[in-house]
Chain A
Amino acid sequence: MPALPLDARHGAILTLALLISAGVGEALAAPSAPSIIETILKWTPLLAQGFALNIAMSFLAMATGTTFGVALGLGQISLLSPVRASSWFVTQFFRNSPWLVLLFYCMLLLPFEIRIGNTFISLPGWAKATIGLALPVMANVSELVRGAVQSIPSGQWEASEALAFTRFQLLRMVILPQCVQRMTPPWMNLYAILTVATPLTSVVGVSEAMTLTGDILSSEGRTELLVPMYLYLLLWFFIYCYPIALATVAIERRFQVR
């Protein structure tokens, strides 16, 4: 998976585009209408609420996806062939399904509440969407784990076996710690991809930043707002993902040196 090609110049271009489109919009607007920058700032608190939901969904989906993905990845290197085969199948299935299709499935198939004993836990749309996003994350993490384990030189296995480590000890103390290092950059990259994919949930009706931007635009009813408003939203995602991309590159470099 290639790293997101993010660059500081992209941020500058985005900001510039936002300002130009705001200027153009201003020129097109009726003279009595409030300025575009003013309107954007007015809606910023609401947009921030929506964006917080995007981030929350990305966090939860990443945590859930990673937890199950690591288990699935370890299943793929199991010595038991039925475990290995079924883990492989589940991984391939979710890795090769379009994210939007998985989202729709989760929205439509999961119940709106779950009953555990006598307590009912309601499952709001955003929670279902988070599960939908966690599934492809899980499959991708599973492949990351399998790939990382297989990239460890066979000498590490031989040396650990010769020292009489059990398979569990060997994985826990020798193989997996080395995998964590190798997996961190692609795992962070996956997180950035997941974050920019969270607006997909607007299609299934989650009130995140993308949905709210649409709502704001329809309530304002001003066509000249359209371009600046969406550029503004893009800028939010950029500001959040850019440091992650920088950190990913920095970590990758550090590992190459050692």
Chain B
Amino acid sequence: MVWTPDQPLIRMRDVHKTFGAHTILNGISLDVMKGEVICIIGTSGAGKSTLLRCINALVPIDRGSILVAGQEVHDAKLDKLALRRKVGMVFQQYNLFPHRTALENIMMAPIHVLKRDRAEVDARARALMRKVRLDGKENSYPGELSGGQQQRVAIARSLAMQPDAMLFDEVTAALDPETVKEVLVTIRELAEEGMTCVIVTHEMGFAREVADQIYFTDRGVVVEHGPPAEFFTECRDERTRRFLSQIL
């Protein structure tokens, strides 16, 4: 199937996933258009991280359909590597490679996966370091950087693959309050540049600010969703209201 920009870049339909006896995703459906930013909120253990991992096939799904740019992810013949080249992911624990410098972390995948020219990748990696405001830290090892700095390197590392969409998995949850902002600013800039983003977050103020759509999930289903203005003022479901009253 050929994907055209009028179709969702990411389209999930009735996605089910169980781990043993635990049902993690129980019929998730959502659409993300190109250039759109969606935030997924919900109680912990609601399957938000699993949902993201299904999109780039880190976690195989049991039932349902996930289309990424027209490519079916729930398919035994899926070229996982091709899919992952198109979808970047940033993790809660940064997961930088501790034995490589910040710059090398950014350069590894473009050189070895995309087989790009080293000089070109180097120049682009340095530009990305400037973009996430870390110029001067190119030769630092991850262990020498603060959490917020590591997370921005991780964002730059994903961007270096020039993905069509980015997945953010609670990227500020492990950070000190004062460094949260610098990471959120970086993500907001990306969103403003038109990067398609799926963001799992507990930062409600941030979600309200950047999201085009907010999805509230509970026990493996989407309870409700809508644009932030409506979602925060006119939510209808009791579960959503209870969640928001706890967190706001």
Contacts and interface: CB of A to CB of B under 8 A. Distances in A.
Q: Do A and B bind each other?
A: yes
Contact of A164 (B53, B81, B97, B143): B81
B112 A165 contact: yes
Interface string B141-168: 1010000000000100110010000000
Contacts of A159: 89, 91, 95-97, 154
8 contacts: A158-B58, A163-B108, A164-B85, A164-B161, A165-B112, A169-B112, A173-B112, A178-B97
Contact of B113 (A165, A178, A181, A258): A165
A204 B93 CA distance: 55
Question: What class of interface size applies to chain B in its complex with A?
Answer: 20 to 34
Contact of A161 (B82, B84, B141, B158): B84
Contacts of A153: 93, 95
A164 B160 CA distance: 12
Q: Point out which of A156, A162, A169 has the most chain B C-beta atoms below 10 A from its C-beta.
A: A162
A67 to B, nearest CB: 23
Question: What class of interface size applies to chain A in its complex with B?
Answer: 10 to 19
A177 interface: yes
A166 interface: yes
A162 B56 contact: yes
B18 to A, nearest CB: 20
A231 interface: no
Contact of B109 (A156, A165, A181, A258): A165
A155 B95 contact: yes
Contacts of A178: 97-99
A163 B58 contact: no
Interface of A: 153, 155-156, 158-166, 169, 173-174, 177-178, 181, 258
A166 B161 CA distance: 15
Contact of B143 (A155, A161, A165, A258): A258
Contact of A158 (B91, B99, B112): B91
Q: Point out which of A159, A163, A178, A181 has the most chain B C-beta atoms below 10 A from its C-beta.
A: A163
Interface in B55-112: 56, 58, 80-82, 84-85, 87-89, 91, 93, 95-99, 108-109, 112
Contacts of A177: 99
Interface of B: 53, 56, 58, 80-82, 84-85, 87-89, 91, 93, 95-99, 108-109, 112-113, 141, 143, 154, 157-158, 161
A181 B99 contact: yes
Nearest to B84: A164
A20 to B, nearest CB: 50
A155 B91 contact: yes
A181 B88 CA distance: 29
Given A159-B96, A160-B97, 18 more contacts: A153-B93, A155-B91, A155-B93, A158-B95, A159-B154, A161-B84, A162-B87, A162-B89, A163-B108, A163-B157, A164-B81, A164-B109, A173-B112, A178-B97, A178-B98, A178-B99, A181-B99, A258-B98
